[in-house]
Structure 1
Amino acid sequence: MADSSSAARVYKRIVPQPVRAVAGSRVPPRVRRKVKGGLVRTLNRREARLHQRALRMVRKGDFASASERRTRTPDGRVGHVHEGLTVDLARRLDHDLVTSALDAAEIPWFTVPALDDRRICIAVEQQDKGLVRRVLRALLEEHTGYIVSASPVNDDTRMTPGSHLKAWKNYGRAKAIRVVWLRTEPTENLWVGEDQGIEIEFWTVNTDLPHERLVGPRPNRVQRVVPRDAAGIEISFDRLSGYSDIDGDLPPSITLEAFDIPRLEEISFPVDAVLLWEHQGAWGEELLRATLRSLHQYAPWTDVIHVVANAPAPAWLDGAGGRVAVVHNPPADGHFHLLPDVAEHFMLFRPGALLGRPTRPFDYFMPDGTTRPRQAKWTVEESLAPWTALGYSTTGRAVTQSFAPGPQPYSCSVLGRLANSGAMGAVAPDGQTHPRLPECHPDDGLVHHFAHTHGLADLSGETTAVVHAALPGIGLRLQRLLVRRDLQQLQFFGLGSDEALRQGGSRAVIDFLRRYFPVASPFEHGHPEDPETYT
């Protein structure tokens, strides 16, 4: 429990320096060791009593976010298994565990809009730091998790369960800590938590002015100094994290009224998703299913999903209470602004376009509505493509930039202005049956170039993984994508090409998609996926 260094600190605190100096020269070492050993035993007993008291308080709490069972992560740590796990759900589960434990111990807290909004940040007063440690250690004994120092950064305890005292060796110097739970779904293909967690900051009380103030230990998105008696208010999770569901119906969190202001990058307008359904058959349905799952997992902020059906919609496609609208008489490509009830801003997903990790609306749109399309490598072939000549004739400005495949940010106003100009994109080959990687889609290139020249698009450089199913050695490439899970956009081509079907590339991509997106979305009626999904 306690160690000799802890006893030495207590010894220095309770024994004055002159007395220690005399004892050092006149008291035999054996006697000094005996005194310090007695302090260690006393501290051990005291710590054990306090831990048991905190454990009783935690066990009285109602933790609805407890996991269904435990497992082991690939590196040997303890993980928690949840049916239907999503990144956003894991964030809320972490928040509920920590705040329930703090409430059980009657420790006042409030959330803070952190600079890194992947994580929820909670503030407590510095005077409660000792009690916070005991309560969290008891919580981590009941619900195994891990603790690291967030400020100053020190993660050398990341492998030690937080119920162990040695996991708290950096706690005394920490101005902010991070509590992490590792979570997965039944197949254990998706792991969440390593880059999330709940950060707890220790705010100090400043009494220099007539009104006491709380001072934060590090910058946040609003301010570091707030009145100590500021009123507490409810705040939704999307105001704390841009990665959260805008219309989530789960209970809000608590913050101070001084923090309830819009973020600079906050998107206040709705964003829809438009999915093109063109290919019937097994691999075509797998692409559609994977796109829906990627939206559910990594873009919970999307509003309505419009499935533009150029073929009969799969029987398993579910309307999800009005969140999915199937358009059976679709407009021509490039005229998606004519879709019934589509939002002014939407994300376009052509077949094979997927999200690969959590996203925010700000990753694709600016707060003023400007789109943020992804750039791609500018090649000689692109410079000679028909759409570049059309882009020049339409705008009077030469095209000098290509655009990556994958999810595309669109706005109805840009599409309407482009349609009024009379410009029409060139016919594009079917990317799923084409024997090689296609160039930039002519409609995407024309729309983004038109928007950019009119100041309605701000080009972005986020990396997109583009894979053709007939690629030699595709298995190794897919395995790397599965292990890393670090790219925001994925685009698969060629699943219907003869070579991919003949050589097994299409099957390899399907197996990859089932492992990358193992959690069924609410847009699948009855979730009738192949049983191999859960093997």
Structure 2
Amino acid sequence: MTTVSDPAVQRTAGGFGHPRHGGAGTAGQASGRQPLTGAGQDDVYVEPGLTPLMAREANRSALTSLLDSAGVPYFAVRGTSDHGTVVAVAEADRERVLGVVFRGLGQYPGHLSVIDPEAPRPARPVSSRDPKAWRDVATARVLQVSWYRTDPGRHLLLGHEYGCAIEFWRPHGTHLVAPRANRATWAVAAGGTNVLGAARMFSRFVSDWTPRHLAPALATRPEFLVNCADDITFPVDAVYTWVDGNDPVWQQRKAQAKGEVYHAESASDARFISRDELRYSVRSLHLFAPWIRNIYIVTDDQVPAWLREDVPGLRIATHREIFRRPEDLPTFNSHSIESQLHHIEGLAEHFLYFNDDMFIGRPVAPHAFFTPSGTARYFPSRNRIPQGPVAETDTPVDAACKNNRALLRERFGRVITQPMEHIPYALRRSAMEEAERDFPEAWARTSASRFRAMTDLSPTSSFALYYAALTGRAQPGSMPFTYLQLAVPDLADRLQRLLDGRNQDSFCLNDAFSTPEDIEAQQELLDGFLNAYFPTPSPYER
């Protein structure tokens, strides 16, 4: 997936879903719009509502529509790539397959590559308009077909990796044998019949909770319907904490409680500003983590103005709902709120906790955050927790880390030395429940702190992760990510590099120290960046 500049996109057309003219072709959108041709340019099709999962499914549907139009039997294969799909056809049907693919790509030009399973690196895709694309198809064991797609604003380009591969399976006795390895089997019964397989069997980017219209069940063979050792089948939820610092009712509550502030950073207005990051972070899940089951947004009786609450899969959870001690409210301390997240009704055992300034940066599988056995992954920082007891000069973050360290050393005899990176925190609900029971006084003090206090724990960003690790439920991991502090003079350049690269699994746009003057200048940059990086609205937006 890459960023697209306007000159690169020379053709527009609808998506590929159903054949337009009987057996003639793939796939034009129902509107019948045709590509706009530009001499010498590749074909790129504009798709409203574009997501990687949509591009993957549209390419698969386009190709299987071609095979259906020619009466060619096929079945889905559990391939080794999560981005694209794979269908198998019998070698005996090669001529019919190549004929219908040639006609389809003639009507709606796309890209083609011949895949050699033994080659050290994959072949580059070639435009189907180029005769070179067809040079070796007569003997190819695997072909990959794709139609490049972009969003109406031309910010995303979803290319060949989201295509559909055709594998030619050869007969061997009573079986058909695969031309290359897949995730399940080398052979299927030649006389076998198709069955439906759940979409999650064919990509780790899909779960049993992904909407069926985005990831339908596929016709496959029974040999593929097994739960492999590396499958993740348990649900994963996402939790956000969010506040609208411009809400006058909330501001009044905060002003009444402000006398308890001990550190300038704790009450900094920048900590409570809503820059609409939440909207775009939820978009990042819709685009790049469609395996999330439910999203919970924890608020102080606030609802984002853009949010639809009538769409399944997202729910507001108020502080009043999750706090076990009503006298701890109102609170303006993220540590306090985080200490109660495991009380969300219906929350999965495995969940990701996001600050609203955290984003998924490209398609990731749940395996980035959890192992198939359910072990959570945490991401230690290169920084170190300062030595010694809590001091007045400590930041709220360092003070909480020191408190974490003291309790965990007393309980487990181990010393934690690293805070965590600003990467979505993979948490186990049971570990948080047990930590609250094991350390009731420290947990209660944190819950009761209306602003960050010297006695706080940092429940989600450190304590619960290390507690899970020391009780056998978490392990260290690594992930390509970026942490960007907004109060930097070269913010525009850094945002542009992040947008151009799109090579980070996650990133955080953090702000604790911006002045009102900074905020006004930053907002225009952020608006442009976030709309370009996440151009497709989620289903939860008005």
Q: Tell me if both proteins adopt one fold, taking TM over 0.5 as the criterion.
A: yes
SS of 2:302's equivalent? coil
Paired with 2:124 and 2:30, the residues of 1 have a C-alpha distance of 24
The answer as to whether partners of 1:68 and 1:80 remain within 8 angstroms in 2 is no
Does 1 or 2 have the higher relative contact order (CA < 8 Å, sep 6+)? 2
The answer as to whether partners of 1:69 and 1:81 remain within 8 angstroms in 2 is no
* Residues 150 and 281 (structure 1), Cα distance of their counterparts in 2 relative to 1, 3 Å cut: farther
* Residues 55 and 249 (structure 1), Cα distance of their counterparts in 2 relative to 1, 3 Å cut: closer
- Provide the residue aligned with 2:295 in structure 1: 305
CA offsets per residue over residues 380-437 of structure 1, 9 Å max, x none? 6489742333432343211144321121111210100110011647979xxxx9xxxx
The answer as to whether partners of 2:299 and 2:317 remain within 8 angstroms in 1 is yes
Query: Which among 445, 456, 475 is matched to residue 458 of structure 1?
Result: 475
- Provide the residue aligned with 1:198 in structure 2: 164
- Provide the residue aligned with 1:215 in structure 2: 177
- Give 1:215 shift: 0.8
Matches within 5 A, 1:125-524: 125-152=90-117, 153=119, 158=125, 160-207=126-173, 212-247=174-209, 248-250=211-213, 251-281=216-246, 284-310=274-300, 312-328=302-318, 329=320, 330-331=322-323, 332-379=337-384, 381=386, 385-386=401-402, 387-422=404-439, 424=442, 443-494=460-511, 497-498=514-515, 501=518, 504-524=521-541
SS of 1:481's equivalent? helix
Larger radius of gyration: 1
CA offsets per residue over residues 2-41 of structure 1, 9 Å max, x none? xxxxxxxxxxxxxxxxxxxxxxxxxxxxxxxxxxxxxxxx
The answer as to whether partners of 2:116 and 2:142 remain within 8 angstroms in 1 is yes
* Residues 61 and 189 (structure 1), Cα distance of their counterparts in 2 relative to 1, 3 Å cut: closer
Structure 2 residue runs without a partner (length 5+): 1-18, 248-272, 324-336, 389-397
* Residues 273 and 267 (structure 1), Cα distance of their counterparts in 2 relative to 1, 3 Å cut: same
Paired with 1:496 and 1:186, the residues of 2 have a C-alpha distance of 36
- Give 1:128 shift: 2.1
- Provide the residue aligned with 1:7 in structure 2: none
Q: Which moved further from structure 2: 259-268 or 104-113?
A: 259-268
SS of 1:85's equivalent? coil
Paired with 1:66 and 1:457, the residues of 2 have a C-alpha distance of 50
SS of 1:272's equivalent? strand
Of all paired residues, the percent bearing the same amino acid is: 26
Paired with 1:407 and 1:67, the residues of 2 have a C-alpha distance of 42
TM-score by length of 2: 0.77
- Give 1:80 shift: 0.7
SS of 1:321's equivalent? coil
- Give 1:463 shift: 1.9
* Residues 421 and 56 (structure 1), Cα distance of their counterparts in 2 relative to 1, 3 Å cut: closer
* Equivalences, count: 456
4+ residue runs over 6 A deviation:
54-57, 425-428
The answer as to whether partners of 1:357 and 1:486 remain within 8 angstroms in 2 is yes
The answer as to whether partners of 1:88 and 1:245 remain within 8 angstroms in 2 is no
The answer as to whether partners of 1:71 and 1:79 remain within 8 angstroms in 2 is no
- Give 1:62 shift: 6.5
Alignment root-mean-square deviation, CA: 3.0
Which amino acid is 1:469 matched to?
L
- Provide the residue aligned with 2:10 in structure 1: none
Which amino acid is 2:299 matched to?
A
